[in-house]
Amino acid sequence: FFGNRADLTRLIAFDLETKKLTPLAWEGTTANGSNILHVDHENETILLQRGAFRNGERRFKPEVIKVDVRTGKFDTLMQPNPEVDAWIADGKGVIRASVGNDRDTGKVRIMYRSGSNGHLETVYNKADPTFTSVESYPEIFLDEPDMALATSNRDGFQKVYKLNMKTMEPVGVPIFSVDGYDVSALIPDYQNNRLAGVSYTSDRLRVRYFDPKLAEIQKILDEDYGPGNAVIGSYDKSYDRLIVALAKPEQRWTYHLYDIKTGDFRRLGYADDTLRNAQLNPVKMVRYPASDGESIEAVLTLPRHRLGKKNLPVVMITHGGPFGPRDDASFDGWAQAIAELGYVVVQPNYRGSGGYGKEWISKGRANGFGLRMQDDLNDAIDYLA
């Protein structure tokens, strides 16, 4: 597009019985055609948010279509709206909210409706002067009227709250929080109207389940494969059959089908058919002192052929953003490739990185935009030396 390479995402339905492949809504789709908002298992349809060809102010705005996964036929439910950058559905497949960003004013607009009838009305339209994402977006709509679950950093870190969608104010005390880290995502149950668990990143991606059965399954997986090495990716309605991804920090993921009733644990495939489940260069999280005394986390990947040796060359990889993203102790293709050549690789989560609360993001702007970030990078080299 306009001389630049871009990824175009599309969906294909696969019929397990006939082995037939059906492209889903490729015609008329622009860049992103794979964002599923809701799955109706009984009627075998999905709600798909996609970019669509439009003129004028709706040109780059998404629409929502209802797609029959057997035939690929679809109907348009929500036309592109100049004020909408993303649509949000509830567990019944009803579009209940939308989010838009005004690049000129910095305002975030959230629109909401109580049910399938009525129009979306603005319930939030503010700019964030701190640039720390103080907005709360509904992630799970509860069966209680006008109530949803969301995360908010109003107390410094992203915590889980019940949210009144009429007032956009949290109700009561936080439902869940993690000391020193942000909650990154909510995990809904099969019906998408209740909280089954939450995920957050400390040294690695971690999951805490509130559903008793899922919590017991995760406990068994942690005992068998080590904490953080097994992640439940999907499950059926009764939680009897699950897709589980396995990987240590220096491995690519391997996917398995786990049948709770029979105990069968069958490999489905590898994320990388070349590397498979090979353990490559060891990865760990370290903390180092910055020159002003601040403690900073960083990912360290050590060359497996030079373990125990000193005076090794160092390559630093910095994450993008620079505000918001972060690195963790999991498989990184660039870090592994460079470590395989004999280098120590360090990836600092300097001030401004995400996942450590809004104060940490604000510190990335202190004392001159980005200057303290560069000091944090220099300090990582001093620490390794």
Spell out the per-residue pLDDT of the chain, length 385, in tens: 778 888 889 999 999 999 999 999 998 898 899 999 999 999 999 999 999 877 776 778 999 999 999 999 999 999 999 999 999 999 999 999 999 999 899 999 999 999 999 899 999 999 999 889 999 999 999 999 999 999 999 999 999 999 999 999 999 999 999 999 999 999 999 999 999 999 999 999 999 999 999 999 999 999 999 999 999 999 999 999 999 999 999 999 999 999 999 999 999 999 999 999 999 999 999 999 999 999 999 999 999 999 999 999 999 999 999 999 999 999 999 999 999 999 999 999 999 999 999 999 999 988 777 899 999 999 999 999 9
Query: What local confidence, expressed as pLDDT, does residue 227 receive?
Result: 94
Residue 164's pLDDT is what? 98
pLDDT for 94 = 97
236 to each of 139, 231, 232, 233, 242, how far by Cα in Å? 20, 15, 11, 11, 7
pTM of the model: 0.91
Q: What is the pLDDT of residue 68?
A: 97
Burial 17-41 (b: 16+ CB within 10 A, else e): eeeeebebbeeebbeebebebbeee
What pLDDT is recorded for position 5?
Answer: 87
State how far the Cα of 32 lies from the Cα of 139, in Å rounded to an integer.
21
What's the chain look like in SS3? CCCCCCCCECEEEECCCCCCEEEECCCCECCECCEEEEEECCCCEEEEEEEECCCHHHCCCEEEEEEECCCCCEEEEECCCCCCCEEEECCCCCEEEEEEECCCCCEEEEEECCCCCCCCEEEEEEECCCCCCCCCCCCEECCCCCEEEEEECCCCCCEEEEEECCCCEEEEEEEECECCECEEEEEECCCCCCEEEEEEECCCEEEEECCHHHHHHHHHHHHHHCCCCEEEEEECCCCCEEEEEECCCCCCCEEEEEECCCCCEEEEEECCCCCCCCCCCCEEEEEEECCCCCEEEEEEECCHHHCCCCCCCEEECCCCCCCCCCCCCCCCHHHHHHHHCCCEEEEECCCCCCCCCHHHHHHCCCCCCCHHHHHHHHHHHHHHC
